[in-house]
Amino acid sequence: MIEIQQTAQNIKLIGSLTRFDNIGSLSLPVNDKNINVDLMELTIDTAGLAWLLQQKQVLAAQSVVIAWQNVPQDLSNLARISDVNHILEIE
């Protein structure tokens, strides 16, 4: 289960984005053309990684720029292994 906390330009994702969570209809709330998404308290698997990629694509089509912050090491590793770290623009 994921909780989304939002302030003006900042979004914090808390919880899990996994194949066991209902994330199909979930989307990031956007109030600006530049948003910061804090991932520090996020647990993720490949389904969650796919959701992040989809969010980046959908928002890019709306000219919204996402800056991922506090990327957990497991997400960074998963993105690197999946060869999508350059698409998400995370290290």
Please give the domain boundaries of the chain with CATH numbers for all domains. 2-88 (3.30.750.24)
Nearest-angstrom CA–CA distance, 34 and 22: 26
pLDDT at 31: 80
Residues forming beta bridges with residue 36, ordered by sequence position:
10, 67
Q: Mean pLDDT across the stretch 54-59?
A: 93
pLDDT at 82: 95
Q: What is the pTM of this model?
A: 0.87
pLDDT at 15: 92
Helix, strand and coil in the chain, % to nearest 5: 30, 30, 35
Nearest-angstrom CA–CA distance, 29 and 18: 19
At 6-45, the pLDDT tens digits run 987 899 999 998 888 777 778 888 888 999 999 999 999 9
Residues forming beta bridges with residue 35, ordered by sequence position:
66
pLDDT at 37: 95
